[in-house]
Amino acid sequence: MCSGGDLSPEEKARTAQSREIDKQLRIEETEAGKSESFIVKLLLLGAGESGKSTVLKQMKLMNGAGFTPAEIANYRAAIISNIITCVETLINAMDALRIPYGFKPDSDHEISNVHASLSPMPLVPFDKSTESILMSQSLPRGIRSLKGDDTETSKKSVKEEGAIARADDHISRAAERMYEELGGSENQPYPPEITILKASERMLFGLDLNASILEAIKYFWSDTGVQYCYSRSNEYQLMDCCAYFLSDAAKFLGPGFMPSEMDILKARIMTTTVTESNFKVNSKTTLRVYDVGGQRSERKKWAPYFQDVKAIIFLIAISSYDQVCMEDESMNRMVENMNLFASICNHPMFKATSMIVFMNKIDIFNEKLAKSPISKYFPTFTGQNSYEEGTAYFSNRITELNKYPEKSIYIYFTWATDTSQISSVLGTVNSILLGDALMNMGML
């Protein structure tokens, strides 16, 4: 046999060709190994305010991704914006529902009681001159239909499923009477703190709020009339995080405040773009999650992401059974959720796609049951107004919408801001997704 140095040009060429073939085989073997890994494409769908982005935040925490310093700074700004939005919404709702500041639902409903509740703060009429320190903006959605001359219309009896009726009891009527007797929106006396906050329909203070604004917000949230207005928040659009942030506004608005994971989970940022996140389930499986905006105006963006979807997590805020829809105040949010679910679940493209339904915000749902009967909004509900029977009712309503018997529908009752609870649910969901993916590949 010839040594390497004695090879003829022809032999050298054949050796080089053999090495090239070996190299190509190794590349093909590597690619074949890669082909055994797979990506599970998952869509997070649901109407607005259902909790999709909160679930995505939890996925990040579960996978150890956490939040970057830039993201934390953005969430701090979002929390400040949430607080300001909640204050302005409540201010406008006080006028829309005709509730005077200092009103006590459990009192004798006399004007003197309202004045007494505002003491010892000096009372001053509303002065538009204070507006110079603020900037005005249009009235937030969700309370426009309550202003003006449509009071009687808003009090119509519930005639169809899910309709939201304006409160019409002795307390609400007393509040309206006292509101008018005190001078209505323009002439009733206010403490200075309320005057500062009321001077504009939109408050833009930046990230650093001065001490007078902080005190005004603290005073505002402690007002008994504001608390009564808050108790009727199903009649207008108010963020679920309102009480969480306003009850400790001084901390959240402090100059050195940095949000915790729970604060970030509570913060609300409306999704107006499609975000893609990738999570490693195991060494060969990647979960690719698309979070899309749930508002009606955002749903036209969904279609391009329907291709090759392995599963859909559809979120429904079960607590929304007594609330109005943001885009259509004549529509009950739960009815909107069910209509949207039916259109997605029964879409021909998703005939064989697993549907995982998160009936979310069970904590708020459970709290509401004591004062807001399900049957008031859904007459077909005839059970006890309990958590067990309420969740069973809405679960059955959802499963009945599925027109494909062969389709799998998995329903979970979730509390998206509770990391322990949602982590357990998401762990189960990962197992379902992995099993479905392997089955689709013929490996199970």
Give just the sign of the alpha carbon dihedral 186, 192, 196, 197. negative
Helix (H, G, I), strand (E, B) or coil at 357: strand
Per-residue CA distances from 279 to 220, 284, 364 (Å): 43, 11, 29
Give just the sign of the alpha carbon dihedral 399, 315, 145, 109. positive
> Catalytic site residues?
49, 54, 268, 291, 295
Q: Which amino acid is at 9?
A: P
Q: What is the dihedral of CA 279, 61, 306, 393, to 10 degrees?
A: 130
Which of 99, 91, 115, 93 lies closest to 171, judged by CA?
99
Helix (H, G, I), strand (E, B) or coil at 87: helix
316 in Cβ contact with 359 (< 8 Å): yes
Angle formed at CA 257 by CA 69 and CA 279, multiple of 5 degrees: 35
Tokens read off for 103: 């009103």
Angle formed at CA 160 by CA 154 and CA 165, multiple of 5 degrees: 25
Give just the sign of the alpha carbon dihedral 291, 296, 301, 303. positive
Over the Cα atoms of the chain, what is R_g? 28
Alpha carbon 107 to chain centroid distance? 35
Please classify residue 130 by burial: count the beta carbons closer than 10 Å to its beta carbon, then call 0-12 exposed, 13-18 middle and 19+ buried: middle
